[in-house]
């Protein structure tokens, strides 16, 4: 193989790497958008249980341990997260940009590198769950009636 052909192959490899980077950037953008939707529509517990179960195939008893609840409740949190309101319902709360950024970063590290500890800690902490739940607006039917 002459040196010019090797240079062409190297250029093609560089282009392939750039295409892979572009695909990764697109994927990261899609993941960020999806996590934003989930943050806006799910409670903190639902978000944590859903991501751990559906994205990382955690068993319910492990989710329960992290969220300090029962396995039955962890299963219920996942079930609530997948009902149609997630895709079509209104947002529960505005998405806090800092919380969103931290969640996207921890999720991408867990997905790319398999290092899930930071994501576990974030989802189990009051950081994400508290921020999501504190800004949530309760639906009118869940509010207690005011005394007359």
Domain coordinates in residue numbering, the chain: 3-137
Q: In this structure, what token pair is assigned to residue 139?
A: 């639906």
Structure tokens given for 27: 């994927």
CB atoms within 10 A of CB 116: 18
CA 59-114-38 angle, to 5 degrees, is 65
Q: What is the pLDDT of residues 38-66, one digit of tens each?
A: 888 888 899 999 999 999 999 999 999 99
Q: What count of residues does the chain have?
A: 148
CA dist., res. 91 & res. 126, Å (int): 20
pLDDT at 140: 37
What residues of the chain score a pLDDT lower than 70? Answer: 1-23, 84-89, 126-148
């Amino acid at each position: 193989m002459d040196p010019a052909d090797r240079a062409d192959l190297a250029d093609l490899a560089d282009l392939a790497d750039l295409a892979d980077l572009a695909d990764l950037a697109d994927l990261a953008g899609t993941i960020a958008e999806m996590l934003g939707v989930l943050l806006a529509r799910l409670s903190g517990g639902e978000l944590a249980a859903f991501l751990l179960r559906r994205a990382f195939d955690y068993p319910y008893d492990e989710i329960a341990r992290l969220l300090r609840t029962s396995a039955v409740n962890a299963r219920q949190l996942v079930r609530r997260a997948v009902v149609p309101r997630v895709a079509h319902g209104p947002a529960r709360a505005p998405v806090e940009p800092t919380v969103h950024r931290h969640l996207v970063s921890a999720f991408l590290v867990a997905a790319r590198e398999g290092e899930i500890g930071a994501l576990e800690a974030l989802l189990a902490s009051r950081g994400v769950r508290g921020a999501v739940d504190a800004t949530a607006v309760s639906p009118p039917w869940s509010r207690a009636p005011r005394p007359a």
